[in-house]
A and B are shown apart, each in its own frame.
Chain A
Amino acid sequence: MRSAIAAHNIDMIYPNVVSPVHALKDVSLEIADGEILLMMGPSGSGKTTLLFVLGGILSPTRGRVVVRDVEITNLDRRQKARFRLKHLSFIFQGFNLFKALTARENVELVLHARGMRARPARERTQRLFERLGMTRQLDRLPRDLSGGEKQRVAIARALVAEPDVVMADEPTSALDAENGLAVTGLLRELARERGATVLIASHDMRIAPFANRIVQLNDGRL
């Protein structure tokens, strides 16, 4: 199967006044196209750092990252941003919805950032909300949504632009058990429908059954 993401010998050292922090140590990892990979590990094990590096948000101190045949470690800041916009999307621990925007506008914003015009963006968002069974929430502000609904909107935002890779950082940490499982199931379902590769960083064991593969990070090592 084709590799969606390949990381080779990644080292990540955060400079620190007292002593540098070695967050990732010689990490190599390959994730197949369409795979759902769960990265597990305790807090401080380097899960989020690895997500940053694989998503082109941080440049590793050493090593190479290839996403969809593009070595993103060679790209400059603007090129990385363009690459992320075209191929990747993120689901954040705290949902990161724009407080002043409705659920619909939060999702449409990603399409506008990609240059899509208002009308097609609105139609695509509408279809996705219908698929999620959330049409009643379309025009609600985040403050009027429950935690589960917020994460559903965040998943819609991550998938509306049909990215190749979805990266989720602790997607269930702000949710209760029932909602946590429901949104992870939804994420898997929608990712499969759209053929997206999913990379989840979490220490929540309950979502393990949703993954094709689980990797464990401990003290920056796989």
Chain B
Amino acid sequence: MVVLARKNLFADLPRFIVALCAVIFAVTLLTVQTGIYNGFIRSTSLLIEESTADIWLASKEMAFLEVTLPLTYARLAQVRAVPGVARAEPMILRPALWRGPHDTLNAGRVIGFDPNGVLFAPGSVGRAELRQLSQPYTFFADASQLRALGARVGEAGSIGGYRARLIQLTHGTQSIVSPTFLYTSLETANAYAPSALSFLTPTNEARPAPLTDSDSITFILVAARDRNKLARLKGALERAIPGSRALTKQEMVAMTRSYWLQRTSIGFALTLTALLGLIVGAVVVGQILYVSVSEHLKEYGTLRAIGAADSFLYGVIMRQAVYMAVLGYVPSLILSFLIAAIAADRGVVIQITALTAGVVFVLTLAMCIIAAAFAMQRVVRVDPAVAFA
């Protein structure tokens, strides 16, 4: 049975290659779409994932990570005084307009944090490198954003009229749903913030001022003394800071992902495209198997005449479907990883996990087996009398 399945399939090599191309197309599309979906989901909450904080404290009105009202810097001291808080660090997240060294404009998002802190760092940047942000009006950005910024490392542009010099690149830290992340110190972020959208009043202060109690911040990142008592600490924080909302890191991730999924319908769009790929693959594989059966009708009729069981005949076709699935899956996966690598250079995260690869393999098998169903029906309906024709 195995030999017949294999040899009948490979007997017509050009047709087999066409079928294999269809499988490769369908599986690559499915893998890349799933990877884009995974990457998108992960990307929306990348900033949160980069933090080691247990709890994010924000305004009660927060819709998600990037849409919230400010807190005052004075709240930081209040948070630090709450029992159960091991450490608390402020974070600023504000929109900004970047003017590059060659006068190109680009939307950005200033992310101010304490470079000497421990609760946030963009990507795998080391502590020593982070401390470079203590230099005024400097920032880090993701390597994928160089084209958008129109600047190279060491070059300066401006944010809201203040000088801004790109001094370091990060990798894999840019969300695909957000404007360019401009990582900087709290003080610099605070200086950029009030005039972030204005170029009308250029300022050339030598050094940004330290934050005062009345300055605005966006989040307070909190490390708990006891991670088993986060629910209690959340309650304590919300009571201590009126008008605030405390979320665990996981809750913050879930809220942000949910916002983007509901808002963009990207899940539906990607699923639809992947489904179309699967349908195209199934149709081509089904057609190839059906034609193969039709061309070997006399041979299958001979098997029917000698009394071969339906299961034997099903087995032959099923094996052909499995060969197609396996032989199509392996190059598809390699191709998908290549596409993911190319996309990563352009800042698009295509995340192909082991689970994705496993699910795609199961779907590939299902696609080929479903496609084989028509050919199987054709085989079991073959009249054994055709063997004598």
Nearest B-chain residue to A157, judged by Cβ? B306
Q: Is A127 an interface residue (CB 8 A)?
A: no
Whole-angstrom distance from the CB of A117 to the nearest CB of chain B?
A: 12
Instruction: Judge whether A58 and B385 touch: CB under 8 Å.
Output: yes
Question: Measured between alpha carbons, how far is A169 from B305 in the docked complex, in Å?
Answer: 12
A100 touches B7 (CB 8 A): yes
* Shortest distance between the CB of A51 and any CB in chain B (Å): 8
Closest to A85 in B: B307
Q: C-beta contact mask, A108-132 vs B, less than 8 Å → 1, else 0?
A: 1110110000000000000000000
- Partner pick for B4 among A57, A89, A92, A98, CB 8 A cutoff: A98
> Contact: B307 with A96, CB < 8 Å?
no
Given contacts A84-B305, A92-B388, contact A99 B310 (CB under 8 A): no
- Is the pair B307, A105 in contact by a Cβ cutoff of 8 Å? no
Q: What is the bound-complex CA distance between A109 and B1, given in angstroms?
A: 7
Considering the chains assembled together, what is the distance between the CA atoms of A137 and B272 in angstroms?
54
**CB nearest neighbor in B for A80:** B307
B330 within 8 A of A: no
Whether B387 pairs with A96 at a CB distance below 8 angstroms is: yes
A210 within 8 A of B: no
Q: How far is the CA of A58 from the CA of B304 in the complex (A)?
A: 12
Residues of A within 8 A of B305 (CB): 55, 57, 84, 90, 92
Is B307 touching A88 in the complex (CB atoms < 8 A)? yes
In angstroms, Cα B4 to Cα A120, docked, is 18
Number of interface residues of A (CB under 8 A): 32
Q: Which residues of B contact A101 (CB under 8 A)?
A: 3-4, 7
Residue pair B8, A96 in contact (C-beta under 8 Å): no
A216 sits at the interface (CB 8 A): no
**B355 lies within 8 A of chain A by Cβ:** no
In the complex, what distance in Å separates the CA atom of A99 from the CA atom of B7?
Answer: 9
B11 touches A57 (CB 8 A): no
A95 to B296, CA, bound (A): 14
Grouping DSSP codes into helix (H, G, I), strand (E, B) and loop, the B interface class, with mixed when no group exceeds half, is: helix
Write out the residue numbers on chain A whose beta carbons fall within 8 Å of the beta carbon of B308.
81, 85, 113
Evaluate contact between B299 and A82: CB separation under 8 angstroms: no
Per-residue CB proximity of B5-39 to A under 8 Å, as 1/0? 00110110000000000000000000000000000
Q: Specify which chain A residues have a CB less than 8 angstroms from the CB of B384 in the assembled complex.
A: 57
Distance (whole angstroms) from the CB of A37 to the closest CB of chain B: 18
Contacts of A136 in B (CB 8 A): none
| A contact residues around B306 at 8 Å (CB) | 84-85, 88-90, 110, 113
Interface residues of A in 71-90 (CB under 8 A from B): 78, 80-86, 88-90
CB distance from A151 to the nearest CB of B (A): 14
Bound-complex Cα distance A101 to B307 (A):
19
Q: Is A3 in the interface zone, CB < 8 Å from B?
A: no
Which chain A residues lie closer than 8 Å to B309 at the CB level? 78, 81-82, 85, 113
* Known pairs A96-B298, A98-B8 / 17 extra A-B pairs, C-beta < 8 Å: A81-B304, A81-B308, A81-B309, A82-B309, A84-B305, A88-B306, A90-B387, A96-B299, A96-B301, A98-B7, A99-B11, A100-B11, A101-B3, A105-B7, A109-B303, A113-B307, A113-B312
Listed A/B pairs (15) with beta-carbon separation below 8 Å: A57-B384, A57-B385, A58-B385, A84-B305, A84-B306, A85-B307, A86-B307, A92-B305, A96-B299, A98-B299, A100-B4, A101-B4, A105-B7, A110-B306, A113-B303
